[in-house]
Amino acid sequence: MESFDVLIIGSGLAGQSLALRLADTHKIALVSKRHLEDGASSWAQGGIAAVIDPSDSTNAHYEDTQIAGAGLCDPTATHFVVDHGAQAIQWLRDQGVAFTPDADTAWNMHLTREGGHSHRRIVHVADATGAAVQETLIDKVRRHPNIKVFEDYVAVDLIVGHKVGKVEAGCLGAYLLHRTSGKVKAFAASHTVLATGGAGKVYLYTTNPDTSTGDGIAMAWRAGCRVANMEFIQFHPTCLYHPQAKSFLISEAVRGEGGLLRLPDGTRFMPKHDPRAELAPRDVVARAIDFEMKKRGIDSVFLDISHKSPEFLHEHFPTISARCLELGIDITKHPIPVVPAAHYTCGGVFIDIRSRTDLPGLYAIGETSCSGLHGANRLASNSLLECVVFAEAAAQDIRANPRQCPSSLPAWDESRVSDADEEVVISHNWEELRRFMWDYVGIVRTNKRLERAQHRIKLLTSEISEYYTNFRVSNDLIELRNLVQTADLIVRSAMRRKESRGLHFSKDYPLMAANPKPTVLNNPLWPKTLPRWNT
């Protein structure tokens, strides 16, 4: 058994920010499913939204967030995040992050604008902000003596007191599988933090890395926690459409800097869908593209920024320019073929303003969580900001509420299982799940589609449960189990929302309800004798 003050499952911006904030006073385990560099944070191109320019205001950032969130953003959480935006940026600068400079401003940072924002407030590092931030933090994480990094480990399940005979102990740690050796080890911790990212791999097309399999959300649900707003899956409108390009995102900033969406014949189509045209929020743009593709039977639309100078494009979008050129697309001369793809999980594990879940000792931060900030649709570049702000909130609460680390935990029991006889069951179920989720629970939904998806999820759940019970766990089995659980939560949440709002668009309920409320799934597994930490 390994023992730590804080066990952080997930090594993106949220997890690393928390580790660095606590490492001077706590013994930290930072768990990465693959390598520290492989999370979704490294893929973020656009930047981090924060009020830096005195002509901007946190009230304006709040209003933009609420508008994008279709009136479903939690006011307290939204004010909390936007009010701490400048502080979060300063913390990152203190760590050594070199944002793109602008010598003509007092704050010496270039600010760009993205869809849904009323001001230029996106702090960035060219068009590879996530990668630059991660590179800086990873260096500090690896050098800190109090942070022990566990790479190639995937969490199997949380260890919960009321399931192992320690009734009111809350979360005691987690079982982790070493992906190379196949061995499962118990990790005990005073505090456990879920920072595992989203669930984009539940869909056939996604901008997410292969690690985004809903692990934290599924584990928290199995432990008895509530989840919220799972029906709101953000589809990024502009994923590069090319047979040799997997999940490559074309940043929101391309439209923010003047990129135009066109049909194959060159006709611009966004103005007829929304008065904000290409600068409309992502859900509006994604639905417009989906509509045009289905109406015309075309494989993609085109994002054209070739009217800008080559110098401008190479300066602002060097990563996008280089990747497109590798594939034979010169963005200085030709438009970029794009399609919508699952991009961000706006819902997640229900948390409070201190990042606490229902289970004492268990926190959730970043895309794994549902703080209420994103409402029915995430405003561009609010996600990295949320990671940093709620990592600090969790750090403060962990410091203020010390807990005892368990001295012993039950060992993982493999005495009644055997090696899997046919791995094809996993790969077949994985493909089936992702395809029917794309077809039935995608950008546009209907009651019938949701019912079909729910029926198939029940069949898959039964098959996977039998498989999990009889065979040794593997990385693929764990991920598939988590994806099916997350898919079930998405469908159940979507079936509860009898309206169209934000990212959830239903043909059966095309209008918005008068008094919207979050979709909170209360967990039937929670023992009624136990008080919830988060009330």
CA angle 208, 91, 148 (to 5 degrees): 65
Question: Each residue of 218-273: pLDDT tens digit?
Answer: 999 999 999 999 999 999 889 999 988 877 889 888 999 999 999 999 999 999 99
For residues 186 and 177, the answer to whether their CB atoms sit within 8 Å is: no
Say whether both 241 and 227 belong to one domain: no
| CA–CA separation, 233 and 77 (whole Å) | 19
Does residue 216 fall inside a structural domain?
A: yes
pTM for the predicted model, two decimal places: 0.90
For residues 2 and 186, the answer to whether their CB atoms sit within 8 Å is: yes
Does residue 409 fall inside a structural domain?
A: no
Does residue 533 fall inside a structural domain?
A: no
Does residue 523 fall inside a structural domain?
A: no
Say whether both 113 and 170 belong to one domain: yes
Say whether both 211 and 328 belong to one domain: no
Domain enclosing residue 78, as ranges:
2-231+346-400
Does residue 406 fall inside a structural domain?
A: no
Ramachandran region, residue 46 (left: φ > 0; alpha: ψ -120 to 50; beta: rest): alpha
Say whether both 81 and 218 belong to one domain: yes
End of a domain among 324, 342, 360?
Answer: 342
pLDDT given for residue 351 in this prediction: 97
Say whether both 457 and 506 belong to one domain: yes
Number of H helices, E strands in the chain: 14, 18
Which residue out of 21, 121, 255, 282 is catalytically annotated? 282
For residues 347 and 521, the answer to whether their CB atoms sit within 8 Å is: no
CATH of the domain at 451: 1.20.58.100
Question: Each residue of 7-40: pLDDT tens digit?
Answer: 999 999 999 999 999 999 999 999 999 988 777 6
Say whether both 264 and 333 belong to one domain: yes
Does residue 535 fall inside a structural domain?
A: no
- Count structural domains, the chain: 3
Say whether both 189 and 304 belong to one domain: no
Say whether both 374 and 493 belong to one domain: no
Question: Each residue of 356-385: pLDDT tens digit?
Answer: 999 999 999 999 999 999 999 999 899 999
pLDDT given for residue 96 in this prediction: 95
Q: What's the average model confidence in pLDDT over 474-502?
A: 96
Say whether both 63 and 171 belong to one domain: yes
Say whether both 6 and 93 belong to one domain: yes
Does residue 415 fall inside a structural domain?
A: no
3-state SS of 351-406 is CCCCCECCCCCEEECHHHEECCCCCCCCCCCCHHHHHHHHHHHHHHHHHHCCCCCC
Q: Which of 124-133, 329-338, 434-443 reaches the highest mean pLDDT?
A: 329-338
What are the DSSP calls for 335-353, one per residue? PEEEEEEEEEE--EEE--T
Does residue 282 carry a catalytic annotation?
yes
Say whether both 465 and 329 belong to one domain: no
Say whether both 174 and 209 belong to one domain: yes
For residues 380 and 252, the answer to whether their CB atoms sit within 8 Å is: yes
Confidence of residue 126 (pLDDT cuts 50, 70, 90): confident
